[in-house]
Amino acid sequence: MPARLDLVVGRGTDIGKWYKNGIRTAIGLDLESASINEAIRKYRTFRNKEYTDYTFYSLFDGKSFVETLRHARIPHAHRFSIVTCYFVGSEANFCVTLTTVVQVLAMGGVFIGTFEDSAGVDRDTVKDLADASGFDLVEWKSLEEHHRTLKQPALPLSDAARATCFSDGTFIFVRRF
């Protein structure tokens, strides 16, 4: 069963999607304590809670995502099959995020993310950075490209890996080493 790490979980609005797509173990991290508190509140009232193991953490004392996982003694570290990070922001943020993902994503795992504004992002640069870190680009879609396809894109990935909403500048990488 896939374990998911959501690096920018926000208010936990995707909990239902996780469950619907077979994700029973997930950890959500966010910078904003208020967002984490709301995610926890939503999970407490989630009707399928007894079938899941979802936990949420705010970044501890300005620590990085990886340091937060270590501090919280997360048993899944280095074994997540899916890592998501919506709103990466920029190519520079992508480099920092990729450093985190490499440390926690299992071989063959899937990294799904979005850029807030893909128009200012050089796809070749991002692809080269990911390739150097051991990732293969599976798909990259702009918002316009997404609207020309079905709501559930045809990808060579499990349903759990597809449990995401495409937005402007969505990318999917698979870790090869």
Provide the pLDDT for residue 1.
58
Distance CA 25, CA 12 (A): 14
In one-letter notation, the amino acid at residue 60 is F
| HEC per residue, 87-107 | CCCCHHHHHHHHHHHHHHEEE
> CA-based Rg of the chain, rounded to a whole angstrom?
15
* Lookup result for tokens 């619907």: 20
Options 3.40.1350.10, 3.40.50.150, 2.130.10.30, 3.30.9.30; CATH for 3-175 is: 3.40.50.150
Residues with Cβ within 8 Å of residue 44, at least 6 apart in sequence: none
Indicate the domain borders of the chain.
Answer: 3-175
Buried b (16+ CB within 10 A) or exposed e, 53-71: ebbbbbbeeeeebbebbee
- Return phi, psi of residue 139, to 5°: -160, 150
Q: Which residue has the higher pLDDT, 74 or 137?
A: 137
pLDDT for 130-177, tens place per residue? Answer: 889 888 888 776 545 544 554 444 444 444 444 444 445 677 788 886
Q: Which residue has the higher pLDDT, 123 or 25?
A: 25
Q: Which residue has the higher pLDDT, 18 or 86?
A: 18
Q: Which of 29-38, 54-63, 120-129, 160-169 has the highest mean pLDDT?
A: 29-38
- Contact (Cβ atoms closer than 8 angstroms) between residue 8 and residue 85: yes
Confidence (pTM) = 0.78
Question: Per-residue pLDDT averaged across 21-39, rounded?
Answer: 91
pLDDT for 86-95, tens place per residue? Answer: 777 777 778 8
What H or E segment, with its residue span, contains residue 123? Answer: helix 123-132
pLDDT for 32-43, tens place per residue? Answer: 899 999 999 999
